[in-house]
Amino acid sequence: MSFFPQFEMAGELPPQATRLGPKLRALAAEGICIGTSSWKYEGWVGSIYRPERYKVRGKFSNKKFESECLSEFAETFPIVCGDFAFYQFPSSEYWKRLFQESPESLQFAFKVPEDITAAKWPRHARYGTRAGQDNVHFLDAKVFQTLFARPLERYASRVATLIFEFGTFAKSTFPTPDLFLSRLDPFLAALPGGFRYSIEIRNPEYLGSNYFTLLASHGVAHVFNAWTRMPEIAAQMEMPGAFTADHIVARCLLRKGRTFEQGVEAFAPYQHIQDPNPSVRDAIRRLAEHARQRKKPAFLFVNNRLEGNAPSTIEAIVDSLDASP
């Protein structure tokens, strides 16, 4: 699978996109792909997106923006994380439309649907009668292959990695980390070839030699994640055996101690940085340097809810890479 995208530029980009795009393309040529979590943010209009592209009868059209902005996103960024896939099994028609309507240059990471990664359905109204029930498809390799991997096979060259995000498991679900790993091991062994796989966990007590060794035995990457109840990425990097695969993945989601809801309330509509996080920036710079020195592909993602504006966070990281020895 290729991870060295080719780019085609068209038209004059906004100032930030003009500055950032060439730097990201240069890094992508080294296999270091830095992008954002999702892309449909009106707060980026004027810095990443050209407002005139989304006007209908002289007024900005949110519908036109959401349906068409991905192609402009790809004029700046080499990769994006498709968080949307976590909530459903996209249809073959959806995948066809997504890949046909986005430039060949754009790589994707996709979160695997929670139908595979949720051991028990959350007690939330949107889950209806399933709320609070055991998930019968938890770590079901056949369901994953049939409903997710197989429809994606034809687009595998544009899929950087597939991410299994596991929410925080209660002690009643897995009293010990090893009980979770005993379920995970045969699942990873049954995964089809053709994709890079990565795992993101939300239980800090799982970060240990047994977890890292298991991932390494299957060539699956640990996702270095900045999240409310996880150790800082820098601390994860220092754990023995944390680099478990021939690819590196990181997701910068939240400042430690901050919830998703607090991030939304504090930062929406995500127009500018409001809470700089130097430690996470430096950790991503170090991951990029690690990948560069070892000639490993790296897929590094920044969320708006980390600092308030993901493109500006990325620009700061990229500029620090330029300045590093």
Q: Which residue range(s) make up the domain with 209?
A: 15-323
**∠ CA 209-214-216, rounded to 5°:** 95
Domain presence at residue 9: no
pLDDT of residue 4: 38
Residues 6+ apart with CB under 8 A from 219: 197, 244, 245, 246
Answer yes or no: is pLDDT of 5 > 50.
Answer: no
Domain presence at residue 249: yes
Count of C-beta atoms within a 10 Å radius of residue 172: 7
Of the pLDDT bands very low, low, confident and very high (cuts 50, 70, 90), residue 325 is low
Domain presence at residue 51: yes
- Whole-angstrom CA distances from 307 to 40, 77, 228, 300 are 17, 19, 13, 16
Token pair of 158 as six digits: 């544009």
Question: How confident is the model over 228-267, as pLDDT tens digits?
Answer: 999 999 999 999 999 999 999 999 999 999 999 999 999 9
Q: Global pTM?
A: 0.94
Domain presence at residue 92: yes
Average pLDDT over residues 311-324: 90
In which element (H, E) is residue 293 found? helix 278-294
Report the amino acid identity of residue 290: H
Count of C-beta atoms within a 10 Å radius of residue 63: 9
Domain presence at residue 4: no
Question: How confident is the model over 293-311, as pLDDT tens digits?
Answer: 999 999 999 999 999 999 9
* CATH number of the domain bearing residue 60: 3.20.20.410
Question: How confident is the model over 48-80, as pLDDT tens digits?
Answer: 999 999 999 999 999 999 999 999 999 999 999
Domain presence at residue 166: yes
Q: How many domains does the structure of the chain reveal?
A: 1
Answer yes or no: is pLDDT of 15 > 70.
Answer: yes
Would you list the DSSP string of 263-282? HHHHHTT--S-SS--HHHHH
Q: Backbone phi, then psi, for 223, in 5-degree steps?
A: -85, 115
Question: How confident is the model over 157-209, as pLDDT tens digits?
Answer: 999 999 999 999 999 999 999 999 999 999 999 999 999 999 999 999 999 99
In which element (H, E) is residue 320 found? helix 310-323
Domain presence at residue 222: yes
Question: How confident is the model over 93-135, as pLDDT tens digits?
Answer: 999 999 999 999 999 999 999 999 999 998 888 888 898 899 9
Of the pLDDT bands very low, low, confident and very high (cuts 50, 70, 90), residue 323 is low
Domain presence at residue 237: yes
